[in-house]
Structure 1
């Protein structure tokens, strides 16, 4: 179970769909086994991203997800740059810290 990685949220989001994707990933990761390496975790995160957005994350890309659309400007849009530069690194850092705590 990897949902512990998403228990602490980033201080800010780029687009309104990003926190909804965060919640979807949290639920998704409840059913995933803990990977051995950061590379394996990154693959799991990207797979989850693709499942919920229908696309791969790419620099400069915004993805509209109808399920995340609840009204307002940028509603339903997920920012790939946020996930590539902040979201995924944030989660990988949480994973590193968790691994380091287990080793001590």
Structure 2
């Protein structure tokens, strides 16, 4: 495994996903998980879902865009996050990077 913690994997692999608020939420979660040891693969989604819900205040199962005021910095979708993007793209992408090694 080429990453020692979740934060180090996140720091190099954001890509362009979601709405404007998603990037700020991503960086917030990255910082919070900077020293979090990479869990067993079976536990990864649970760790990431919990972090998403803690910092967004929104269920990962939500299908609606949500606004997070602290991530409003201007622009058309400022402060908006998309839980579905996290569940279906961002978290699976990170999982593939950490455990799949193909990216």
- Place the TM-score, normalised by the shorter chain, in its bin: 0.7 to 0.9
- CA-to-partner distance for each residue in 1:43-93, whole Å, 9 max, x for gaps? 111111011111111252212111111122111011112111110111110
Query: TM-score, with normalisation over the residues of structure 1?
Result: 0.82
Match of 2:52 in 1: 49
In structure 2, do the counterparts of structure 1 residues 59 and 50 end up closer, same or farther at CA, with 3 Å as the change threshold?
closer
1:69 and 2:72 matched: yes
The counterpart of 2:20, out of the listed 16, 25, 30, is: 16
* Residue 14 of structure 1, CA deviation: 2.0
Work out the number of aligned pairs and report it. Answer: 98
Runs of 4+ in 1 over 3 A off after TM superposition: none
> 2 CA distance for matches of 1:64 and 1:58?
16
The counterpart of 1:88, out of the listed 88, 91, 102, is: 91
| Runs of 5+ unmatched residues, structure 2 | none
Q: 1 or 2 for the larger relative contact order (CA 8 Å, sep ≥6)?
A: 2
Larger Rg belongs to? 1
| Runs of 5+ unmatched residues, structure 1 | 99-104
In structure 2, do the counterparts of structure 1 residues 10 and 30 end up closer, same or farther at CA, with 3 Å as the change threshold?
closer
> 2 CA distance for matches of 1:72 and 1:7?
23
